[in-house]
Chains A and B, each alone.
Chain A
Amino acid sequence: MRFIEIKDCYKVYKNGVAAIAGLNLNINKGEFVFVIGASGSGKSTLIKMLYREEKPTKGIVEIGGINVGKLRNRTVYKLRRKLGIVFQDFKLLPKLTVYENVAFALECLGMKGSEIRPKVIKALDHVGLKDKLRSFPNELSGGEQQRVCIARAIVNNPKLLICDEPTGNLDPKTSKGIMEVLDTINKELGTTIIMATHDKEIVNRMKKRVIVLDSGVLSEDHEKGRYKASESI
């Protein structure tokens, strides 16, 4: 079942740089997709268009039937409530505990305290941090901080999880743990995951769909793909 549809999509920035130049792409519900490509290939722009941080200059970006490009600024929040976003730099609030950081996402949506608690505990259980509820981000390792970020992203049961180089700041062993968490979420919750990455190891080991971008266009699309040995991305 098609979940994301990108048709004849272009994104030209004000300075004239064409980050996406005629991209066509379909992603089905429940898929786990890696987006790879060299710096400047348009990975980040694609990711930003998916959560409507950037608008396409031309073409259609549709998620679950919503034309993201047509959304007005004041209604973007409706889209984001259906998404979870994980960043390379975690974006945790240092003065809040692990529990508070995850609960923050639900509090912002005006959810009741009694509804928030079980959801937060469940999300932290998914990422294996149930015993770190009261820790502050600076008391956690990089991998643990990223797990908190993932828990925050999935706490509202999003249909789509967008990950922008989530293992970029982590060592290989920790990265492997994070990928296991993401894989579990994908399999157990059926969440569609799109992950931009540079990490060869991960892409080769996970054997998921791989989309390669080159100068803003789709250059390769492989089911159970992998980094080619010759590629130096």
Chain B
Amino acid sequence: MKAFRIIGRSIRDSFKSVFRNFSLSIASILCTTITLVLVAIAIIVTVNVNHITKDMEEELTIVVYADKDTTDERLKEIERDIKKLSTVASVDAKSKEEWRLEMQSYSETLNTTLDYLEENPLLDSFIVTVKNVDDLRPTALEIRDFANIESANYGEGMVEDIISVFDIIKTVTVIMVIALIVVTAFLISNTIKLTIFSRRSEIEIMRLVGSSNTSIKLPFVFEGFLLGILGSIVPIIVMIYGYLIMYEEITSSSSFSIIDLVSPMPFVLYTSLILLLIGSVVGMFGSARAVRKYLKI
């Protein structure tokens, strides 16, 4: 019961202190707000880039064409050999006749042209999907070395470029988020430092009347926690409404139809929890740092 009373008192004191040092608290809350808004943007970018990359990766395949005169038996052998590769997820064989029928269905011109030709000019092929996007290139190179292979292509260049751009975006956002979190922790730490200085006499009296170190430190840690929580309210609201509006705009616009964003539910809920968690943990961490450094008891 005594411990609960001390915790209750610490919480009450931390609220009092936030209002007593109002301008300082507002500065810390604003810094946390700005940081968390940027963190929210970073989370949205990272998660959606991941989502889009994953979609792209799932659609990436290697198209293998066999030589023109490859026998049916050899085609089966090739299919078997490709399936044996450890990096391969699936192989779909597509004969030149299937290609011909598919292409004839595209347009009347193609239909007439292909009919006109006595011999099917198309090649037998295999659509190969790999387990991991990084396996595309080595798998394609390996297949090219097989006998009776005309080509094995996966959209060289473009795929690597897109993936490396996405990787850069992810790395930059992660570094930015970490840097911002560190800056916020320092700002909260500074606020708590000033609070400690402004309450020096109170702390001295607490020590002299026999308050334990924990009960002296606790209000400051709660104050940091509270500043972090208060600082995360606006970013959560901005993130929820901002993402819902963006999602609505992008999914309803024909110019952005290629972009498939992550569905808002439950994404915004998880992101809100993450923001709340970052705010409170960073607040507590910042104040714990200040308490350790400036509260000599």
- Write the nearest CB–CB distance from B281 to chain A, whole angstroms: 25
Q: Which of A73, A82, A91, A110 contacts B208 (CB 8 A)?
A: A91
Contact A110 B215, CB 8 Å, known A80-B210, A81-B210: yes
Q: Are A108 and B210 in contact (CB under 8 A)?
A: yes
- Write the nearest CB–CB distance from A160 to chain B, whole angstroms: 12
Q: Are B5 and A110 in contact (CB under 8 A)?
A: yes
Separation of A110 and B297 alpha carbons in the complex (Å): 19
Separation of A104 and B297 alpha carbons in the complex (Å): 18
Q: Are B210 and A73 in contact (CB under 8 A)?
A: no
Closest to A75 in B: B212
B91 sits at the interface (CB 8 A): no
Q: Are A93 and B207 in contact (CB under 8 A)?
A: no
Q: Are A93 and B210 in contact (CB under 8 A)?
A: no
Which residues does chain B contribute within 8 Å of A112, judged by CB atoms? 5
Contact A51 B9, CB 8 Å, known A74-B213, A91-B201, A110-B215: no
Q: Are B209 and A108 in contact (CB under 8 A)?
A: yes
Q: Which residues of chain A from 83 to 118 have any CB-CB distance to chain B below 8 Å in the complex?
A: 83, 85, 91, 93, 104-105, 107-112
Which residues does chain A contribute within 8 Å of B212, judged by CB atoms? 74, 77
- Contact residues of B: prevailing secondary structure: helix
B3 sits at the interface (CB 8 A): yes
Closest to A78 in B: B210
Q: Are B207 and A80 in contact (CB under 8 A)?
A: yes
Which residues does chain A contribute within 8 Å of B251, judged by CB atoms? none
Which residues does chain B contribute within 8 Å of A91, judged by CB atoms? 201, 204-205, 208
Separation of A91 and B212 alpha carbons in the complex (Å): 19
Separation of A142 and B201 alpha carbons in the complex (Å): 18
Q: Are B9 and A104 in contact (CB under 8 A)?
A: no
Q: Are B209 and A104 in contact (CB under 8 A)?
A: yes
Contact A110 B6, CB 8 Å, known A91-B201, A93-B201: yes
Which residues does chain B contribute within 8 Å of A104, judged by CB atoms? 205, 209
Q: Which residues of chain A from 49 to 92 have any CB-CB distance to chain B below 8 Å in the complex?
A: 51, 73-74, 77-83, 85, 91
Q: Are B5 and A152 in contact (CB under 8 A)?
A: no
Closest to A94 in B: B201
Interface hub of A78, A80, A83, A93 (most chain B Cβ within 10 A): A80
Q: Which of B9, B202, B204, B210 contacts A77 (CB 8 A)?
A: B210
Q: Are B210 and A109 in contact (CB under 8 A)?
A: yes
Contact A77 B205, CB 8 Å, known A110-B3, A110-B5: no
Q: Are A108 and B5 in contact (CB under 8 A)?
A: no
Which residues does chain B contribute within 8 Å of A85, judged by CB atoms? 208
Which residues does chain B contribute within 8 Å of A74, judged by CB atoms? 212-213
Interface size on B, residues (CB 8 A): 19
Q: Are A105 and B209 in contact (CB under 8 A)?
A: yes
Separation of A110 and B3 alpha carbons in the complex (Å): 7
Q: Which residues of chain B from 188 to 211 have any CB-CB distance to chain A below 8 Å in the complex?
A: 201-202, 204-211
Separation of A93 and B5 alpha carbons in the complex (Å): 21
Separation of A68 and B83 alpha carbons in the complex (Å): 80
Contact A107 B9, CB 8 Å, known A73-B297, A91-B204, A93-B205: yes
- Write the nearest CB–CB distance from B29 to chain A, whole angstroms: 23
Q: Which residues of chain B from 202 to 248 have any CB-CB distance to chain A below 8 Å in the complex?
A: 202, 204-213, 215
B2 sits at the interface (CB 8 A): yes
- Write the nearest CB–CB distance from B296 to chain A, whole angstroms: 10
- Write the nearest CB–CB distance from A92 to chain B, whole angstroms: 8
Binary contact readout B143-157 vs A (1 if CB under 8 angstroms, 0 otherwise): 000000000000000
Separation of A51 and B261 alpha carbons in the complex (Å): 66
Q: Are B211 and A77 in contact (CB under 8 A)?
A: yes
Contact A77 B213, CB 8 Å, known A110-B5, A110-B6: yes
Binary contact readout B58-83 vs A (1 if CB under 8 angstroms, 0 otherwise): 00000000000000000000000000
Which residues does chain B contribute within 8 Å of A73, judged by CB atoms? 213, 297
Closest to B204 in A: A91
Closest to A109 in B: B210
Chosen A-B contacts, 19 in total, with CB atoms closer than 8 Å, are A51-B208, A73-B297, A80-B207, A80-B208, A80-B209, A80-B210, A82-B210, A91-B204, A91-B205, A93-B201, A93-B202, A105-B205, A105-B209, A108-B206, A108-B210, A109-B210, A110-B5, A110-B215, A156-B209
Ranked nearest first, the 8 interchain pairs of A and B with the lowest CB-CB distance are A81-B210, A80-B210, A105-B209, A108-B211, A110-B2, A110-B6, A110-B5, A77-B210
